[in-house]
Structure 1
Amino acid sequence: MGEGIKSMFVELQDVYKIYGEGQESEVRALDGVSLTLDRGDFVAIVGQSGSGKSTMMNVLGCLDIPTYGTYLLDGVDVRSLEDDELSKIRNQQIGFIFQQYNLIGDLTVLENVELPLIYQGISGGKRLEMAQDALDRVGLGDRGRNRPSQLSGGQQQRVAIARAIAAKPPIIMADEPTGALDSTTGKEVMGFLRQFNKEGSTIILITHDNDIAAQARRTVRIFDGKIVDDQRQEVDWL
């Protein structure tokens, strides 16, 4: 994860995401948001449904482009990039973890983890080694030949985590990663995120759960498309 982390820097400057602009039904999902994330940060973006937190995740993850404002990722203005450049950033700079796992049922666990490495053009032998290493890290090194349907929900989320970290991206973005899990398994998932953060990864955690947010180093609260609170907090796992 070395060199990418040192140069990674995230900054939103007066960002708006507007749907139906100028219409009676206009929605400002993001309404003038400014936010800077340090390298190696662990930030929880907290808000209820409809608050704008998912839109912020989509913008930060280069899945969507702001209507107005500037998003600088490692000093590059994301709005100036072409689709193929955005796709490259998503694949190489950001590892995504979603609430619903998004695993492909027809592929084995190992093949699921290999997917982002295939998109990067990594050769077969190296790809297999990286995918197996990622599975080992989440305690599923012996389940590579299984299908996702043969695993529990918690195990499937661990596969999704392995897929996110296989290419060692500088940023890990987790969208409600514990939302579909029981509390014990949820704690395991948060343990993995803390460990990756200790190793230098920047973690962006999207959640509605205050208890989950309290485990991050920093909490950013969003309401009606605006940041209403931004605080760093002492954590006991460093």
Structure 2
Amino acid sequence: MIELRDVYKIYGEGLESEVRALDGVSLDIEKGEFVAVVGQSGSGKSTMMNVLGCLDIPTRGTYRLDGVDVRELSDKELSRIRNKQIGFIFQQYNLIQNLTVLENVELPLIYQGIDPIDRRELAIQALTRVGLADRAQHKPTQMSGGQQQRVAIARAISTHPPIIMADEPTGALDSRTGHEVLGFLQQLNKEGSTVILITHDNGIAATARRIVRIADGKIIEDHPQEVNWY
């Protein structure tokens, strides 16, 4: 599903202050995998997510998503991929505070042009999956951090994307709620979603089926592992 070949992401290329956020990275991720990309601050893991999520394009090298070379796509085509093929979950939830929970979950469906009746039904289905259908008319400010992250998960899965990308999804949560979020990601993976988890925490990374460790923009470790699922 995902193929990176000798990928570089360079800021200030050719300058004395040049930064190689990704430095010759090659990586394959198969459909249905649960992969944790783990590294400390400044390691390149966030840049990796931005490239994998088509939020940014490589400076050099090749990124193929389902066989398509991402660097050859227009901004409109990249936007379509982000909307239809990838569900994003972020540490700070990225919910719009003046919209209801239901309206937040409906947003990616609006961008897809789905009619109001169908998108409302899909949004309710997604909220039901995360146990928040009864909070559909609440605002994010009326909810706990864990509930807001579940709303963000509902928004990510409302379009049924084949890939889920979670960037430090438990970083703003307490331990118990964080474990619930990780368990939900594992359930999505069991149901066939490809899950890519970005984290600095080795304990969080250990919940994935495969760990890719990154440092100084390079992959320094890549191995599968056995885990006890929730």
TM-score normalised by the chain length of structure 2: 0.99
Matched, 1:226 2:218: yes
Matched, 1:38 2:21: no
Tell me the distance in 2 between the aligned counterparts of 1:203 and 1:129.
Answer: 25
Q: Which of structure 1's runs of 4+ aligned residues deviate more than 6 A?
A: none
- Aligned residue in 2 for 1:83: 75
Question: What aligned pairs does 1:138-177 form with structure 2 within 5 A after superposition?
Answer: 138-177=130-169
Tell me the distance in 1 between the aligned counterparts of 2:47 and 2:83.
Answer: 19
Tell me the distance in 1 between the aligned counterparts of 2:147 and 2:229.
Answer: 23
Question: What aligned pairs does 1:2-81 form with structure 2 within 5 A after superposition?
Answer: 9-81=1-73
- Aligned residue in 1 for 2:115: 123
Tell me the distance in 1 between the aligned counterparts of 2:66 and 2:24.
Answer: 21
Tell me the distance in 2 between the aligned counterparts of 1:128 and 1:20.
Answer: 45
- Aligned residue pair count: 230
Tell me the distance in 2 between the aligned counterparts of 1:127 and 1:148.
Answer: 20
Opposite residue 221 of structure 1, the aligned amino acid is R
Q: Secondary structure at the match of 2:134?
A: coil
How many angstroms does 1:236 deviate by?
Answer: 2.1
How much identity, in percent, do the aligned residues show? Answer: 77
Q: Secondary structure at the match of 2:133?
A: coil
Tell me the distance in 2 between the aligned counterparts of 1:209 and 1:64.
Answer: 24
Opposite residue 113 of structure 1, the aligned amino acid is V
- Aligned residue in 2 for 1:4: none
Matched, 1:134 2:126: yes
Tell me the distance in 2 between the aligned counterparts of 1:88 and 1:169.
Answer: 12
Q: Deviations over 1:111-133 (max 9, x none)?
A: 00000000000111110010000
Q: Secondary structure at the match of 1:142?
A: helix
Work out whether residues 183 and 229 of structure 2, in 8 Å CA contact, stay in contact via their aligned partners in 1: no
Tell me the distance in 2 between the aligned counterparts of 1:213 and 1:231.
Answer: 12
Opposite residue 65 of structure 2, the aligned amino acid is L
Tell me the distance in 2 between the aligned counterparts of 1:114 and 1:75.
Answer: 29
Q: 1:187 aligns with which of 159, 179, 186?
A: 179
Work out whether residues 213 and 219 of structure 2, in 8 Å CA contact, stay in contact via their aligned partners in 1: yes
Opposite residue 203 of structure 2, the aligned amino acid is D
Q: Secondary structure at the match of 2:43?
A: coil
How many angstroms does 1:186 deviate by?
Answer: 0.1
Gapped regions of structure 2 (runs ≥ 5): none
Tell me the distance in 2 between the aligned counterparts of 1:202 and 1:217.
Answer: 11
Q: Deviations over 1:200-222 (max 9, x none)?
A: 00000000000000000000000
Opposite residue 211 of structure 1, the aligned amino acid is G
How many angstroms does 1:103 deviate by?
Answer: 0.3
Tell me the distance in 1 between the aligned counterparts of 2:107 and 2:117.
Answer: 14
Tell me the distance in 1 between the aligned counterparts of 2:156 and 2:3.
Answer: 22
Q: Deviations over 1:127-161 (max 9, x none)?
A: 00100000000010100000000000000000000
Q: Deviations over 1:26-54 (max 9, x none)?
A: 00000000000010000000000000000
Taking only aligned residues, the RMSD between alpha carbons, in angstroms, comes to 0.7
How many angstroms does 1:235 deviate by?
Answer: 1.6
- Aligned residue in 1 for 2:228: 236
